[in-house]
Amino acid sequence: MQAAVKTQRRRSLSRFRRHTNTGHSRCFFAMDPVHACFKEKIGEVLLPGDVFSFRLPESGDGSVKTDKIICGPGLRRNGEEVQVCKSGILRHKPPNMYWIDSQQRRYVPAKGESVIGIVTAKSGDIFKVDVGGSEQASLSYLAFEGATKRNRPNVQVGDLVYGQFTIANKDMEPELVCIDSCGRANGMGVFGADGLLFKLSLGLVRRLLAPQSEIVKDLEKIFPFELVVGMNGRVWVKSKTVQQTLIMTNVLETCENMTSQQRQTLFKRVAEGSL
């Protein structure tokens, strides 16, 4: 039975991860291929208002040598400069992705990010969904796999939905969909029966969604469980019993400021039943 539950958890987690790792790329532009200005500051704390200025090198024929750089959360392009708009540590992912790793709890919707939302109201053909941002997102009843005017999805107020932003900017209401570009659900839609929903910091959520997350690997050694993680800081977990579900929730909440060694010691004590 445990093997079957564990297999189900892994499949569920892999489906949701496929959608949630799209949150870093925000803008593309040409820059110095050596990325010298950024590399000098990798791992350092930056504050809002810090600016990176660039001078593009010219080749022998007078043309400018350019390369693409991807600016993630916390960085914003302004002409030939890149401005820091969040306080945190500058991170780098090869070959050309840079972002600010911050510990903020307020979520700002971004196009392409997958989130966990709570249905708060039905308004005609639109569902209103609370995603933890400054305003609610809209979700059309046609934005579900197999949905038609006659075959409407069974969505009730209070249901949890896992969806992806198609529109998210400061001038328009955010819009969610529960299908991919091929019209398939691919892990999205209504979920959450018998599980527990709670909130973590956005920094810890990104660590959970990393392709080879050490935290998730350590959690697998404790109990078989199902885990759904949204980029908006909401996490849903379900284990075999209510007690195990509560243990998993408390363990995840304590991982925020723990080192790798402290976390492994805690997980080992939990697995042995000493806590």
Do 120 and 185 meet the contact criterion of CB atoms below 8 Å apart? no
Give the pLDDT of residue 28.
46
pLDDT in tens, 231-273: 999 999 999 999 999 999 999 988 888 888 888 888 888 888 7
Where does 33-55+67-101 sit in CATH, by number?
A: 2.40.50.100
Superfamily of domain 113-191: Nucleic acid-binding proteins (2.40.50.140)
- For the chain of 275 residues, list the mean pLDDT of each consecutive stretch of 10: 40 40 45 60 87 62 60 81 87 82 81 93 91 92 90 91 91 91 89 89 87 86 90 93 91 86 86 71
Confidence at residue 83, expressed as pLDDT on a 0 to 100 scale:
87
pLDDT of residue 274: 60
Can you say whether residue 121 is alpha, beta or left, with left for phi > 0 and alpha for psi between -120 and 50 degrees? beta
Question: Which alpha helices (H) appear in the chain, and where do they start and end?
Answer: 2-20, 36-39, 202-208, 214-219, 242-254, 260-272
Domain 196-272 in CATH 3.30.1370.10? The answer is yes
Single-letter code of the amino acid located at 8: Q
Every domain of the chain and the residues it spans: 33-55+67-101, 113-191, 196-272
Topology match between the domains 33-55+67-101 and 113-191: yes
pTM of the model: 0.74
